Structure 1
Amino acid sequence: MPALAQTSYPLHLSNCGVDLTFEAAPQSVVSVGQAATEILYALDLGDRVLGTSVWFSSVLPQFEAVNAGVPRLADNDPSFESVVALRPGLVAVQYEWHIGPQGIVATREQFADLGIPTYTLPSDCVGKDNSTGSDGTRLDMYTMDSLYQGVEELAQIFDVPERGTAMVAALREREAAAIATAGALALDDASAVFWFSSAEMDIDPYVAGQGGAPAYMMQALGLRNVVESNEEWPVVAWETIARANPSVIVLARMDRRRFEADDIERKLEFLRTDPVVSQMEAVREGRIVILDAHGMDPSIRNIDALETLSAALAGFDLQ
């Protein structure tokens, strides 16, 4: 039998503007961001995860057992001290706004000064300007390729490249199948809006702009995004959304309760009772799709979300 592929060390990577060199596979890692956590679990590296943080939803069912044995440093933002206290061989990061040039946890230099390398998922920096606020602005349309790059590079770092290759191949196959299902519908000018949350129920919502993961899903499945902003999650007035009259409304479901509108039941109640929103065609016709909130951020859950949305479109009369 041929030998399994192995990483050749020293491994040199350019990661979100930072040059990294690994002399050997890290023996431990702390994750700051659910997307990074679930990639590590999917690569069967759970035994090296010392702690996790920044959670939107419950861990994927297939990872419940391994996750139960890993300390959670914080539901949301961990402190710099709590991460470095574990002395991890690597910190795997989902968002630059947590660990980056103006990171609210720390900068990458602060970790490097302590001899701790950081790796940021390319999905948060490829074709994106994160200097414009916490969510950043997409300069180029997000594609799954940047997420797949993160999977394969983490697999390389931890000397399990064959696991990364196999995982990406399986995700690509599912991605193509979901797109083909929607393509067969031959949608004609169908449109959508993705509502993530709102700081208050009676003010303008955070919706998906042009370029992020939801925009990629809409483009891939033949839907037009009624929100034209290039911000990742702009605030747009409901009156503006109502005038655009999207064919489909997609809602985020999450465990997080930072805002009142994080609760999916409050979102649904608002759609039914608000004088303006309740008159939208998508609400009256019941063309509402509920997706896992973390599936709206760059993550391996994008494929689950793509499949769910594609299947829902097949049940709507949008021709």
Structure 2
Amino acid sequence: MTRRTTARLPLISVATAAIVFGVAGCATSTETVADDSATTASYPITIDNCGADLTIESEPQSILTIGTSALSLLDAAGAADLIVARSGEFGAALPEGMSVDLSDVEIVDPSDPTTEKIVGANADVVVGYGLFNSTDEDLAASGITNIVIDGECSHDAGLTSATDFDAIFADIERLGTVFDTSDVAAGNVAALQSELDELEADASAAADQSAAVIYYFSPASTLSARGGLGIANDILARAGMSNVYAAEESVYLETNIETLLDADPEVIVIAYGLYGEDLDTAKELFFAEPGTSDLTAVKNGAVIGVLASDLAPDPDAIRGLRTVIDSAATLSE
């Protein structure tokens, strides 16, 4: 069987998968149908890449990823088996529920890769959050194409609209087009949408609460928060919460304890794991900030943790929403 018929659904419960694909019968029958109905992309193809047209001359055969979101998106698109090298993960764990084991795939750089390291990975395409130690022009000179995750365009260009779950689903379909895995991408998007609908129906426990998503990029960094243009804002909204930083037209923003005290959210969500730290470590860093004991959320014990990788613009955000909803339900008991 080809990779287009064997990529399994990520992050989706058996019940949800059955709802979406039940009419196709058993797994073997589903794979046969997908194989028979698969269409072949006609290259070259042109896609939108952060507001600019990007032409893919031929079907890519190998991928270097930058960041963990690229891993999850490519898995949902049915192309994770093409990943030959990884980078930009900063020590974070691999996303859970991957259909392809990437643990032995070489990490060419744990942070932002240089042109030399990207070229040395021998990949046709780079998929990730953008370039900081290289440029599109440098890569193009070596015949390498750089595809930026839609929800991370603010790293290289201004976002024109907020990233939400619809944008994530569109990104999966876009990658399916690039790698000629559109059938797998469409099936996974349908199942993810079904799971999202089910989660929203269970979100009433958090209704009308204000919240903030905060994080530290490293132990030495200052307090940061998630603004109104990122997927974290959509997660809070779908969980029935209002983001106190929603008016900030950015995905990530540096903040401080003073602004958090002024906003005084009823719930604080700590995004942890960005550099491999656990929730207890992240809480210790936050509680060491002067004045945190005066926050309403801290007084009421309404501080919850969500893996930072589950608050990123990729399918794992479904799990992030589930964690927020479940944690909010526990707080209300």
The two structures have a TM-score, normalised by structure 2, of 0.80
2:196 is equivalent to residue 160 of structure 1? no
Determine the structure 2 residue equivalent to 1:316: 331
Task: State how 1:113-152 maps to structure 2 within 5 Å.
Answer: 113-125=141-153, 128=154, 130=156, 138-152=159-173
Question: Cα deviation per residue 1:231-287 (whole Å; 9 max; x = unaligned)?
Answer: 322222212212322111101121516xxxx55323322555655112322112221
**Structure-2 separation of matches of 1:28 and 1:68:** 17
Aligned partner letter, 2:168: L
Give the Cα–Cα distance (whole angstroms) in 2 for the partners of residues 196 and 302 of structure 1.
16
Q: CA deviation at 1:296?
A: 2.0
Q: How does 1:172-183 map to 2 (within 5 A)?
A: 172-182=193-203
> Which of structure 1's runs of 4+ aligned residues deviate more than 4 A?
128-131, 198-201, 270-275
1:68 aligns with 2:103: yes
The separation in 2 between residues aligned to 1:292 and 1:16, in whole angstroms, is 26
Q: Structure 2 CA distance, aligned partners of 1:271 and 1:196?
A: 8
Structure 1's 221 and 52: CA in aligned 2 closer, same or farther, altered over 3 A? same
Q: Distance in 1 between matches of 2:83 and 2:155?
A: 29
Matches within 5 A, 1:17-166: 17-56=51-90, 57-63=92-98, 66-93=101-128, 95-96=129-130, 98=131, 104-125=132-153, 128=154, 130=156, 138-166=159-187
2:293 paired residue among 278, 284, 296: 278
Q: What residue ranges of structure 1 are gaps of 5+ in the alignment?
A: 99-103, 132-136
Q: Are the structure 2 counterparts of residues 76 and 277 from structure 1 closer, same or farther at C-alpha, using a change threshold of 3 Å?
A: same
Q: Which amino acid aligns with 1:231?
A: S
Rate the CA distance shift 1:296–1:186 in 2: closer, same or farther, 3 A: closer
Residue 23 of structure 2: aligned partner: none
SS in 1 for 2:254: coil
Pick from 227, 236, 243 the counterpart of residue 218 of structure 1. Answer: 236
Residues 54-89 of structure 1: per-residue CA shift (max 9 Å, x gap): 115211243396212311111111221111123322
Partner residue in 1 for 2:4: none
Residues of 2 paired with 1:157 and 1:175: CA distance? Answer: 25
Of residues 292, 311, 314, the one that matches 1:296 is 311
Q: Say whether 1:236 aligns with 2:255.
A: yes
- The letter of the residue matching 1:9 is Y
Query: Conserved in 2, the CA contact under 8 Å of 1:181 and 1:310?
Result: yes
Distance 1:146 1:243, change over 3 A: same
Give the secondary-structure state (helix, strand or coil) at the position aligned to 2:89. coil
Question: Is the Cα–Cα contact under 8 Å of residues 138 and 212 in structure 1 kept in the other structure?
Answer: no
Q: 3-state SS of the aligned residue for 1:68?
A: coil
| Ranges in structure 2 where 5+ consecutive residues have no aligned partner | 1-32
Structure 1 residues 235 and 25, CA gap change in structure 2 (3 angstroms): same
- Kindly indicate whether the alpha-carbon contact (under 8 Å) linking 2:306 and 2:320 is maintained by their aligned counterparts in 1: yes
RMSD over equivalenced CA pairs, Å: 2.6
- Distance, in Å, in 2 between the alignment partners of 1:173 and 1:84 is 40
Amino acid at match of 1:49: I
Report the more deviating stretch, 66-75 or 54-63. 54-63
- Aligned pairs, how many? 297
CA contact (8 A) 1:55 1:75 kept: yes
State how far apart, in whole Å, the 2-side matches of 1:299 and 1:155 are: 14
State the AA in 1 paired with 2:164. T
Write the distance in 2 (CA, Å) between the matches of 1:119 and 1:200: 30
Do structure 1's residue 206 and structure 2's residue 191 form an aligned pair?
Answer: no
| TM-score using structure 1 length | 0.83
Q: What is the rounded CA distance, in whole Å, between the counterparts of 2:293 and 2:278 in structure 1?
A: 18
Post-superposition CA distance 1:116-139 (Å, at most 9, x none): 2221122223xx5845xxxxx655
